[in-house]
């Protein structure tokens, strides 16, 4: 039995997709960044896909796929499952092409995302909230497709979607003033990385493309290690735009041939990149959109004096997550620490802790305490933010010396999950 040949998008197909997307997706700017260039001693530019109409590159693949449907498929309508950027790309494509679409979203999807999908799709889309997870929504979407003969618009494992995402690569080739040495790109299912890498393999083969996944969802990296696509049992969903249990088969086959390296970065590092991009550059990046920037530290020596591009893949960040993003960044930087503190049940014990134990720059940011009248000591959970890593050891030493120290919670995940 002959083996099915591996699909690779052709330059001709990508150029056709680019023509198809004219006037639909923005030709987003490639902007040199002075601060990061100086910090890493190289030439770093940002490809600003957060400036698309739907604030991510997903419109490229969604529109290219939906616009390719036959007349019968168009009449039957389309279906997708998504709680984020893909849903917005499909919704806008449905409105522009005047095709009816059904978008299945998990019930816990934030209302802000639901409203944005409604805004882009208007009366051309119907939103179905179902289940507690993406998998629940996905299964319901597939069932609806089969029952009503609709077309499922896959977020990444589809040739037309890959070719649409690949148009970003053509833009980069045309925009770059000098040959690009390194490109850092977030990887979820692999749609953007597979499409873009195919373009560079053909037109700029010396460019090294680095795929970046969140540490809590290393599905592509594991597939590289195993030599085949595997499904993760569980993932950390925090970097929701790049957290998938299983990458696409088509995407894996392309990425394993074209990517120079596949790495992971901690979620906390992505959070720090989000804060830096906002505070220093006024760029609003979502967690997946910041992965490419967070990866630079891992390649500091390799990229010195090189031409580097980071793909800011999306900017759909929910403002209600800001506190959590800051918390995760501080924890990653080891500047936020949680303790169980034992307080003597007498007047003045808290004052003693604040005055005699805390350093001049230490700040209590979390405090939970219940007085137990029948005991000599009471237990409190205390979160403390430090200004310097060097302040931790003296703080713990003073706690122990004065009998305030109960336990350190940062390295106890079973307890720590209730605090963050």
Q: How many CB atoms lie within 10 A of CB 226?
A: 9
**Tell me, what's the pLDDT at 379?**
86
**Tell me, what's the pLDDT at 131?**
87
367 has which bridge partners?
A: 382
Per-residue pLDDT band at 2 (split at 50, 70, 90): very low
Task: Provide the token pair at 335.
Answer: 């500047």
Sign of the four-CA dihedral 201, 267, 28, 25: positive
Of the listed ranges 12-16, 41-45, 281-285, 342-346, the one predicted with least confidence: 342-346
Please confirm, yes or no, whether 126 is among the known catalytic residues: no
Reported as a single tens digit per residue, the pLDDT across 8-26 is: 999 999 999 999 999 999 9
Per the CB < 8 A criterion, the answer to whether 50 and 283 are in contact is yes
Of 25, 68, 313, 336, catalytic: 313
Reported as a single tens digit per residue, the pLDDT across 113-146 is: 899 999 999 999 999 999 887 778 889 999 999 9
pLDDT at 318 over 90: no
What CA–CA distance (Å, rounded) separates 65 from 19? Answer: 13
Q: Which residues contact 357 (CB under 8 A, 6 or more apart)?
A: 395, 398, 399, 402, 404
What is the reported pTM?
Answer: 0.91
Per the CB < 8 A criterion, the answer to whether 274 and 224 are in contact is no
Per-residue pLDDT band at 411 (split at 50, 70, 90): confident
337 has which bridge partners?
A: 384
Please confirm, yes or no, whether 98 is among the known catalytic residues: no
pLDDT at 333 over 80: yes
Please name each of the domains of the chain with its CATH number.
Answer: 11-57+159-327 (3.40.50.1100), 60-152 (3.40.50.1100), 335-416 (3.30.70.260)
What CA–CA distance (Å, rounded) separates 44 from 31? Answer: 9
Of 47, 58, 160, 208, catalytic: 58
pLDDT at 419 over 80: no
Task: Provide the token pair at 81.
Answer: 């499952």
Q: What is the mean pLDDT of the chain?
A: 93
Residue in this structure with the two tokens 């749609």, named with its chain if needed: 191
Residue in this structure with the two tokens 């100086």, named with its chain if needed: 38
Per the CB < 8 A criterion, the answer to whether 7 and 253 are in contact is yes
**Tell me, what's the pLDDT at 417?**
65
Does an H or E element contain 281, and which?
helix 267-281
Q: Quick one: which of 163, 197, 186 has its CA closest to 15?
A: 163
- Higher confidence at residue 256 or residue 318? 256
Polymer length of the chain: 420
Q: Which residues contact 181 (CB under 8 A, 6 or more apart)?
A: 206, 207, 208, 303, 306, 307, 308
**Tell me, what's the pLDDT at 3?**
55
**Tell me, what's the pLDDT at 218?**
97
**Tell me, what's the pLDDT at 373?**
55
Reported as a single tens digit per residue, the pLDDT across 253-308 is: 999 999 999 999 999 999 999 999 999 999 999 999 999 999 999 999 999 999 99
8 has which bridge partners?
A: none
Across 208-218, average pLDDT = 97
The backbone region for 14, taken as left when phi is positive above 0, alpha when psi lies in -120 to 50, beta otherwise, is alpha
Per-residue pLDDT band at 200 (split at 50, 70, 90): very high
**Tell me, what's the pLDDT at 347?**
84
Instruction: Please give the radius of gyration of the chain, using alpha carbons only, rounded to the nearest integer.
Output: 24
**Tell me, what's the pLDDT at 1?**
44
Per the CB < 8 A criterion, the answer to whether 168 and 27 are in contact is no
Across 184-206, average pLDDT = 97
pLDDT at 372 over 70: no
**Tell me, what's the pLDDT at 420?**
61
Q: Quick one: which of 200, 228, 205, 230 has its CA closest to 218?
A: 230
Coil/strand/helix, residue 143: helix
pLDDT at 6 over 90: no
Q: Which residues contact 368 (CB under 8 A, 6 or more apart)?
A: 380, 381, 382
Q: Quick one: which of 161, 151, 320 has its CA closest to 250?
A: 161
What are the CA-CA distances from residue 345 to residues 15, 342, 364, 397, 398 (Å)? 74, 9, 20, 21, 19
Of the listed ranges 109-113, 212-216, 303-307, 406-410, the one predicted with least confidence: 109-113
Reported as a single tens digit per residue, the pLDDT across 25-39 is: 999 999 999 999 999
Secondary structure letter of residue 353 according to DSSP = I
Across 307-333, average pLDDT = 91
**Tell me, what's the pLDDT at 62?**
98
């Amino acid at each position: 039995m002959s083996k099915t040949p591996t699909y690779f998008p052709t330059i001709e197909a990508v150029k056709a997709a680019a023509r198809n997307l004219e006037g639909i997706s923005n030709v987003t700017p490639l902007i040199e960044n002075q601060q990061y260039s100086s910090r890493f001693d190289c030439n770093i530019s940002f490809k600003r896909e957060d400036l698309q109409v739907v604030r991510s590159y997903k419109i490229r693949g969604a529109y290219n796929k939906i616009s390719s449907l036959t007349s019968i498929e168009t009449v039957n309508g389309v279906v997708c499952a998504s709680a984020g950027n893909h849903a917005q790309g499909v919704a806008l494509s449905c409105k522009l092409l005047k095709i009816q679409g059904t978008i299945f979203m998990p019930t816990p999807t934030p209302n802000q995302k639901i409203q944005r999908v409604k805004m882009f799709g208007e009366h051309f889309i119907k939103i179905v909230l179902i289940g507690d997870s993406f998998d629940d929504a996905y299964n319901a979407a597939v069932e609806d497709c089969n029952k009503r003969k609709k077309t499922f618009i896959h977020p990444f494992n589809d040739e037309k979607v890959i070719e649409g995402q690949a148009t970003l690569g053509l833009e980069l080739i045309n925009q770059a003033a000098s040959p690009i040495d390194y490109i850092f790109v977030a990887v979820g299912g692999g749609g953007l990385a597979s499409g873009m890498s195919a373009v560079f393999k053909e037109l700029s083969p010396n460019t090294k493309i680095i795929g970046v996944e969140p540490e809590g969802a290393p599905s592509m990296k594991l597939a590289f290690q195993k030599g085949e696509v595997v499904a993760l049992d569980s993932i950390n969903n925090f970097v929701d735009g790049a957290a998938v249990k299983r990458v696409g088969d088509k995407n894996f086959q392309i990425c394993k041939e074209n990517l120079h390296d596949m790495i992971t970065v901690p979620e906390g590092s992505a959070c720090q990149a989000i804060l830096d991009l906002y505070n220093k550059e006024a760029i609003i990046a979502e967690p997946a959109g910041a992965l490419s920037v967070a990866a630079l530290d891992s390649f500091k020596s390799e990229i010195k004096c090189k031409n580097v591009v980071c793909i800011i893949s999306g900017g759909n960040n929910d403002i209600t997550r800001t506190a959590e993003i800051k918390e995760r960044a501080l924890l990653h930087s080891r500047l936020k620490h949680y303790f169980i503190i034992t307080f003597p049940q007498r007047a003045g014990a808290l004052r003693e802790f604040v005055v005699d134990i805390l350093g001049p720059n230490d700040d209590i940011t979390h405090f939970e305490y219940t007085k137990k009248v029948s005991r000599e000591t009471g237990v409190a959970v205390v979160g403390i933010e430090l200004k310097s890593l060097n302040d931790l050891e003296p703080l713990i030493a003073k706690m122990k010396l004065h009998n305030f120290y109960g336990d350190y919670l940062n390295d106890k995940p079973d307890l720590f999950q209730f605090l963050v």
